[in-house]
C-alpha cells in the first residue's frame, strides 16, 4: 500500500508541473506584449517597465515561470482590476463553488444510487426502462437550459424559490439540483451496471440457493461490492463539478470561481483567469488522486496489482 | 486473387454490424434524430420561413408570443425564433463535426503511435494528454477561448483540443491489445514496415470503439458549443446559435418565457440523438456488454 501511495503521489509531480507550465504559457500565448497586458489599459511606459522588471519578463522563460509561481503563492500576483492579491479574490469564490458542488453531489448520489439499484433489481421491467430513459434524458439536458426551466417553474410561476443570489439554504436548492441532475443520471447508469455485474456472480446465486431474502442479498451482499465503482464515479464527478459548475453559476448568479474566471475574461483581468483556472485544475487532479487512493483501499486487488 | 476472401469477409462484417444497428431501437431513434437535424442544417435557407437575422420592429414587436406567422414567437431583437432554431442546427453541427473530426484524426494518430511504438514516445504523448485531462473540459475550452478569442474557428480548436485525449486513449488501448496478435507477427515476419502494419491492420481494427466515442463526443461538443455561447464566449452575433440565443433569452424570461424554451429543446433533442446513437451502437457492436 505504501508503494502504491508513493507511486501515485510521485505521478502527481509531473502533472502539477505540466498544468502550471501550461497555465504560465497562457500569458505568453495571448496576442500582444504580456507586460502591456499585465499593466492594464492606460498604463504609462514606466508602468510597463516596472511590470517587466517585477515579473522578470525580460528574463528567460524558465526564470519567468519560477517568478510567476512565486507570485501566485506569495500573494504578489495581483488582480489587474482591483489590485488585490489574486488568491485573496479566488479563495472565497472557490469556497462557494465547493459548497455548491458538495450539495449537488449529495443530491446526485442519493438519487442516482437509489434509482440505479432499483433499475438493476427490476431489470428489464418498465421501471428499469423508465430509469434508463430518464438517465439518457438527464445526460442530454444542457445544464443551463435546465436551470432556465427551473427558474421559469419554481421562481416565476410558483414563486417558491429565489432565481439567483446566495445567502440562505433556499438559494442553493435550484443551482444544486441543476448541477446535480446530469451527474445523478451518470451515477444511476453506473450503479445499475455495477449492480447487474455483481448480481450475476456465483456467490449471489449461492445466497439465493440458501434461501436468503432478496433484500438481505441486495443490501448486505451485493451492494457492498457494487459500491466500489460507484464511489469512484461519485468522486470523479465531484472533481469535475469544481470546473463544470461554471454554467450553473452563470445561470443563477452564484459567485463561484468558474463565474469569476469568465467575468475576468471579459474584464481582461488575466491574472485572475490564469490563477482561477490553475486552482480548479490542480484541485481536480487532487480529487482524482483521492478517488484513486480510496479505490485502492476499497479494492485490495488494485493496490497489489 | 489472394485478397478476395479477405474483402468478402470484410463486407460481411460491415453487413453484420449494419444489421445489428438496424435491429437496435435506440440506435435507430438516434439515427432519425440526427438525420432530421442534418436535413434542417443542409436545407435551412429553404425550410426556415425568414432570414434568421431579420428584425421585426413595428407591427410585430420584440418578444412576441408564438403566432401563425412566427410559430415560435420572436426574440428580444424581434427576430423569428423558428428560423433561428433551424439555422442554429447549421452552426452547432458544423462546429461539432469539424472539432470531433480533428480530435479523431489527431487522437487516433498519436494514440496509435504511442501504443504501437511504446517506450519514449508513449510516455511523452500520454503524459501530455494526462495534463490536458487535468482540466475539466469546459474549463479548458474557456481558457483556450480566453487566449484565442471567440469565433467559429477558435471554438472548433478549443473543443478539438479537449476531445483529442479521449480518442488517443482508445486508440492506444486497442493498438496494444492488437499488437500482440499472431497476424501482426506474421506481417512483421514477411518484412512489412511498422507504419504499414499500423495503417493496414491496426487502425482499421480500432474503428468500432472510435465511432462509438465519436458519436458520444458529438453530443458533448454540441453541449460545449451551446455552453460557450451561453457564457458569451461563442460565435459572433448575429449568427444564429442556440446557446447564445438562450443567454439572450435569460434577460427576458420574466416577460417572455417562450424565448427560453425552443433553442433548449433543439439542443436537448440533438444531444439525445447522438447519445442514443452512440449507446445503441455500443450495444450493437458489443452485444456481450449489453446487460452491463
pLDDT digits (tens, 9 = 90+) for A202-256: 888 898 889 888 888 888 888 888 888 898 899 999 999 998 899 999 999 999 9
Instruction: Look at A72-86, B115-129, B206-220 and tell me which has the smallest mean pLDDT.
Output: A72-86
d(CA B278, CA B292): 16
A18/B231 touch (CB, cutoff 8 Å), yes or no: no
Torsions phi, psi for B74 (to 5 deg): -120, 160
**Greater pLDDT, B26 or B289:** B26
For chain A positions 27-46, those within 8 Å of chain B (CB to CB) are 29-30
- What is the number of alpha carbons within 13 Å of residue A117 lying toward its C-beta? 17
Residue A160 burial (C-beta neighbours within 10 Å; 0-12, 13-18, 19+): exposed
Ordered by start, the domain boundaries in chain A are 87-304
A250/B231 touch (CB, cutoff 8 Å), yes or no: yes
Q: Inform me whether the C-beta atom of residue A108 falls under 8 Å from chain B C-beta atoms.
A: no
Report the topology of domain A87-304: MetI-like fold (1.10.3720)
pLDDT of residue B158: 94
Q: Inform me whether the C-beta atom of residue A153 falls under 8 Å from chain B C-beta atoms.
A: no
Residue with cell 502533472: A15
The sign of the CA dihedral A199, A203, A208, A212 is negative
d(CA A112, CA A237): 12
Is the per-residue pLDDT at A103 higher than 90? yes
pLDDT of residue B2: 44
- Between A and B, how many residue pairs show a Cβ–Cβ distance under 8 A? 131
DSSP tag of B74: B
Between the alpha carbon of residue A18 and those of residues A75, A222, B11, B128, the distances in Å are 22, 41, 45, 8
B219-235: average pLDDT: 94
For residue B128, give every residue at least 6 positions away whose Cβ sits within 8 Å of its Cβ, in sequence order, or none: A18
Nearest residue in chain B measured CA to CA from A250: B231
The sign of the CA dihedral B69, B74, B77, B79 is negative
Predicted confidence (pLDDT) per residue in A11-53, tens digit: 888 888 888 898 888 777 777 777 777 777 777 888 888 878 8
pLDDT of residue B36: 97
Write b or e for each residue in A25-64: b if 16 or more Cβ atoms lie within 10 A of its Cβ, otherwise e.
ebbeebeeebbbbbbbeebeeeebeebbeebbbeeeeeeb
A270-293: average pLDDT: 89
What CATH number belongs to B24-289? 1.10.3720.10
- What is the number of alpha carbons within 13 Å of residue A274 lying toward its C-beta? 30
Q: Are B212 and B278 spatial neighbours (Cβ–Cβ below 8 Å)? A: yes
Q: Inform me whether the C-beta atom of residue B232 falls under 8 Å from chain A C-beta atoms.
A: yes
Predicted confidence (pLDDT) per residue in A112-126, tens digit: 999 999 999 998 899
pTM of the model: 0.89
Ordered by start, the domain boundaries in chain B are 24-289
pLDDT of residue B288: 55
Average pLDDT, chain A: 88
Q: How many angstroms separate the CA of residue A297 from the nearest CA in chain B? A: 23
ipTM score of complex: 0.89
Amino acid at each position: 500500500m505504501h508503494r502504491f501511495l508513493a507511486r501515485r503521489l510521485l505521478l502527481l509531480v509531473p502533472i502539477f508541473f505540466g498544468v502550471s507550465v501550461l497555465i504560465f504559457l497562457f500569458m505568453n500565448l495571448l496576442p500582444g506584449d504580456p507586460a502591456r497586458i499585465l499593466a492594464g489599459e492606460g498604463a504609462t511606459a514606466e508602468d510597463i517597465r516596472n511590470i517587466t522588471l517585477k515579473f522578470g519578463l525580460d528574463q528567460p522563460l524558465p526564470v519567468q515561470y519560477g517568478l510567476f509561481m512565486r507570485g501566485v503563492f506569495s500573494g504578489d500576483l495581483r488582480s489587474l482590476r482591483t489590485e488585490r492579491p489574486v488568491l485573496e479574490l479566488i479563495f472565497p469564490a472557490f469556497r462557494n463553488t465547493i459548497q455548491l458542488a458538495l450539495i449537488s453531489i449529495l443530491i446526485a448520489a442519493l438519487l442516482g444510487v437509489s434509482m440505479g439499484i432499483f433499475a438493476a433489481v427490476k431489470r428489464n421491467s418498465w421501471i428499469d426502462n423508465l430509469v434508463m430513459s430518464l438517465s439518457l434524458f438527464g445526460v442530454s439536458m444542457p445544464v443551463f437550459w435546465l436551470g432556465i426551466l427551473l427558474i421559469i417553474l419554481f421562481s416565476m410561476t410558483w414563486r417558491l424559490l429565489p432565481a439567483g443570489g446566495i445567502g440562505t439554504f433556499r438559494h442553493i436548492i435550484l443551482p444544486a439540483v441543476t448541477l446535480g441532475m446530469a451527474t445523478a443520471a451518470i451515477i444511476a447508469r453506473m450503479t445499475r451496471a455495477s449492480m447487474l455485474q455483481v448480481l450475476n456472480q456465483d456467490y449471489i446465486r449461492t445466497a439465493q440457493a440458501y434461501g436468503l431474502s432478496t433484500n438481505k442479498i441486495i443490501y448486505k451482499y451485493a451492494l457492498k461490492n457494487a459500491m466500489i465503482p460507484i464511489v469512484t464515479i461519485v468522486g470523479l464527478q465531484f472533481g469535475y463539478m469544481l470546473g463544470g459548475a461554471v454554467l450553473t453559476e452563470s445561470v443563477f448568479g452564484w459567485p463561484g470561481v468558474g463565474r469569476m474566471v469568465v467575468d475576468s475574461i471579459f474584464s481582461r483581468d488575466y491574472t485572475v483567469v490564469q490563477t482561477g483556472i490553475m486552482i480548479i485544475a490542480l484541485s481536480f487532479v487532487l480529487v482524482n488522486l483521492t478517488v484513486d487512493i480510496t479505490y485502492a483501499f476499497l479494492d485490495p486487488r488494485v493496490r497489489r496489482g | 486473387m489472394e485478397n478476395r476472401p479477405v474483402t468478402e469477409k470484410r463486407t460481411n462484417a460491415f453487413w453484420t454490424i449494419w444489421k445489428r444497428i438496424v435491429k437496435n431501437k435506440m440506435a435507430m431513434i438516434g439515427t432519425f434524430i440526427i438525420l432530421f437535424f442534418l436535413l434542417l442544417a443542409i436545407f435551412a435557407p429553404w425550410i426556415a420561413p425568414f432570414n434568421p437575422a431579420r428584425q421585426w420592429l413595428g407591427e410585430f414587436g420584440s418578444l412576441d408570443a408564438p403566432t401563425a406567422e412566427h410559430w415560435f414567437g420572436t426574440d428580444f431583437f424581434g427576430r423569428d425564433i423558428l428560423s433561428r432554431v433551424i439555422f442554429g442546427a447549421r452552426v452547432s453541427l458544423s462546429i461539432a463535426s469539424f472539432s470531433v473530426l480533428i480530435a479523431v484524426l489527431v487522437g487516433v494518430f498519436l494514440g496509435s503511435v504511442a501504443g504501437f511504438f511504446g517506450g519514449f514516445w508513449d510516455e511523452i504523448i500520454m503524459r501530455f494528454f494526462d495534463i490536458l485531462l487535468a482540466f475539466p473540459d469546459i474549463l479548458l475550452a474557456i481558457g483556450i477561448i480566453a487566449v484565442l478569442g471567440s469565433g467559429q474557428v477558435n471554438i472548433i480548436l478549443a473543443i478539438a483540443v479537449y476531445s483529442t485525449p479521449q480518442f488517443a486513449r482508445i486508440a492506444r488501448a486497442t493498438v496494444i491489445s492488437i499488437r500482440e496478435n499472431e497476424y501482426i507477427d506474421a506481417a512483421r515476419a514477411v518484412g512489412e514496415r511498422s507504419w504499414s502494419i499500423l495503417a493496414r491492420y491496426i487502425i482499421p481494427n480500432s474503428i468500432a470503439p472510435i465511432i462509438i466515442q465519436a458519436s458520444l463526443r458529438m453530443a458533448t461538443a454540441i453541449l460545449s458549443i451551446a455552453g460557450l455561447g451561453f457564457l458569451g464566449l461563442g460565435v459572433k452575433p448575429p449568427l444564429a446559435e442556440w446557446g447564445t440565443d438562450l443567454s439572450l433569452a435569460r434577460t427576458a424570461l420574466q416577460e417572455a418565457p417562450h424565448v427560453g424554451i425552443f433553442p433548449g429543446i433543439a439542443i436537448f433533442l440533438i444531444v439525445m440523438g447522438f447519445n442514443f446513437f452512440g449507446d445503441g451502437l455500443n450495444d450493437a457492436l458489443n452485444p456481450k456488454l449489453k446487460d452491463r
